[in-house]
Amino acid sequence: QQPVQSPQAVILREGEDAVINCSSSKALYSVHWYRQKHGEAPVFLMILLKGGEQKGHEKISASFNEKKQQSSLYLTASQLSYSGTYFCGTGLISSGSARQLTFGSGTQLTVLP
């Protein structure tokens, strides 16, 4: 089942912070985050595993709340280069296979100067 991302779109000014959420109705084993710029391929950001792990990548970090089956992506002090569509992909506990990685419909992030 497709995870639900929120918000669908967000516009912010350079230097502002943003949070993107990814929720599932099923028990998750992992959450993957990707960013896609218009006309380009999705680019890997990070993977979070069951256990509430938090990871960071420069000024982008993410958390995984096992109890809520939710992951949040935090973008701190946004830069113009952060603009793009962010996708989460969820892996279920019921399956150990990458074929069960299901992507959300994306959150379009626009950073204005």
Partner 1 sequence: DAGITQSPRYKITETGRQVTLMCHQTWSHSYMFWYRQDLGHGLRLIYYSAAADITDKGEVPDGYVVSRSKTENFPLTLESATRSQTSVYFCASSDGDRVSGNTIYFGEGSWLTVV
Residue with tokens 């995984």: 64
Torsions phi, psi of 65, nearest 5? Answer: -100, 105
The answer to whether residue 44 forms part of the interface with partner 1 (CB under 8 A) is yes
Peptide bond into 7 cis (omega under 30): yes
Torsions phi, psi of 101, nearest 5? Answer: -75, 115
The answer to whether residue 33 forms part of the interface with partner 1 (CB under 8 A) is no
> In the range 49-78, which residues lie near partner 1 by CB under 8 A?
49
Nearer to partner 1, 83 or 102 (CB): 102
Which chain residues interact with partner 1 by CB under 8 A? Answer: 2, 29-30, 32, 34, 39-44, 47, 49, 87, 89, 91-92, 95-106
